[in-house]
Amino acid sequence: MEFNFEDQQISLDTDSQTAVLDKVAMRFRKGDGFTLATINLDHLVKLTDSAAFRKAYARHDIIVADGRPIVTLSKMAGRAVDLMPGSDLILPLCWVAASENVSVALVGSTDRALADAATALKQDVPGLNISLCIAPSGAFDPDSDEAGAILNQLAQAGIGLCFLALGAPKQELFAQRGRGMAPHVGFVSIGAGLDFLGGHQRRAPKVMRRLGLEWLWRALSSPLRLGPRYVKCLLILPDQIVQALRLRGKGE
């Protein structure tokens, strides 16, 4: 499945979650870094509005579907992909990191949230080595000296896997900068995933996730903050459906 913009094409990974984890494990063994993004409708809105975001996103090594609308669009296009929300990838990736003896860093959110997430992860994944927890300033800029210093710290600490909880587009822009400054680090952008783990945000009940209604749960939980975001997501759906049907018609 791919999303086409005037200046970039962004292609989703068609592998299963197991295959994606195997791909990550192989990179750990070779000492190769990578960037993994989890695309959703909000990202598509931001990608439409920002050339810099499109450029960074298109250069990611692995892009998976975060949200049932993306999965549905891929099916409509005849290019089905698996659902892999960033929050659901954290534990499986940590198991891979532990089995490959890879050091892990948590970057983003707040000091308290990161500490609580680290505690939860170590309880769930025996042998997991979380070497760094870094909460950037509230005015974090992926192009700033602060970001560069964090990337240098990750590289010098020998980090192999770094979870980014900075929100889009900051986390994806930071990850792509990291491919140059910290080439042995695997960057995974997971949004609010660490806050969920540490209990600082409440995730939608499993039944709502199974029904594809996690977006509704989040919108109702924080209508003033997230309501406008989801309205923008709904507004781009008609055009995305048309694009998906065109792709199906090409039969490539």
Cβ–Cβ under 8 Å, residues 161 and 31: no
Query: pLDDT tens digits for the chain (252 residues)?
Result: 899 998 999 999 989 999 999 999 999 999 999 999 999 999 999 999 999 999 999 999 999 999 889 999 999 999 999 999 999 999 999 999 999 999 999 999 999 999 999 999 999 999 999 999 999 988 899 999 999 999 999 999 999 999 999 999 999 999 999 999 999 999 999 998 999 888 777 777 777 777 667 767 776 777 777 778 888 988 999 999 999 999 888 865
Sheet holding 186-189, edge to edge: 62-65, 34-39, 186-189, 161-165, 103-108, 129-134
Partners of 35 in the beta sheet? Answer: 187
User: What angle do helix axes 223-250 and 68-76 make, rounded to 10 degrees?
Assistant: 20
pTM for this predicted structure: 0.93
| Domain-wise residue ranges, the chain | 2-250
Token pair 């749960």 in the structure block, residue: 217
Query: Rounded to an integer, what distance in angstroms lies between the CA atom of residue 195 and that of residue 166?
Result: 11
Beta bridge partners of 187: 35, 162
User: Any residues with CB less than 8 A from the CB of 223 and at least 6 apart, and which?
Assistant: none
The pLDDT of residue 70: 94
Give strand ranges (E) for 87-221. 103-108, 129-134, 161-165, 186-189
